[in-house]
Amino acid sequence: SQKIEQNSEALNIQEGKTATLTCNYTNYSPAYLQWYRQDPGRGPVFLLLIRENEKEKRKERLKVTFDTTLKQSLFHITASQPADSATYLCALDMRSDYKLSFGAGTTVTVRA
């Protein structure tokens, strides 16, 4: 069956360090992959989209990589800040009319 796994439910890091989140998938051949941020009591907010033919994408302090051979995406938050504390969700499009399947999310807590 199709499966999306995000590493550990929670990640605690010190301010200024880099947070690295992992999204692994099996039995998928996604056309692209997206990352979203969700704060408590709010809807997910789009952060980045990376296509299957792209290796890396950056946006300010965020970086995403996409390895279709390993079936893995890495999401990095550099120079992390307490304001980066949130749950981060990866989502895959299965070439099926832009439907997204979401991972369970990783909750990041940045300590000051």
Paired strand residues for 65: 56, 74
C-alpha 106/C-alpha 31 separation (Å) is 22
- Asked if 99 touches other proteins (CB under 8 A), the answer is yes
CA-based nearest residue to 73, from 2, 27, 10, 6:
6
Q: Which amino acid is at 37?
A: R
Q: Which is nearer to other proteins, 41 or 112 (CB)?
A: 41
Output the six-digit token pair for 67: 């390895």
- What's the min distance (Å) between Cβ of 14 and other proteins? 28
By rule CB under 8 A, what string of x and - marks binding of each residue 9-48 to other proteins? ----------------------xx-x-------xxxxx--
- What's the min distance (Å) between Cβ of 96 and other proteins? 8
- Asked if 103 touches other proteins (CB under 8 A), the answer is yes
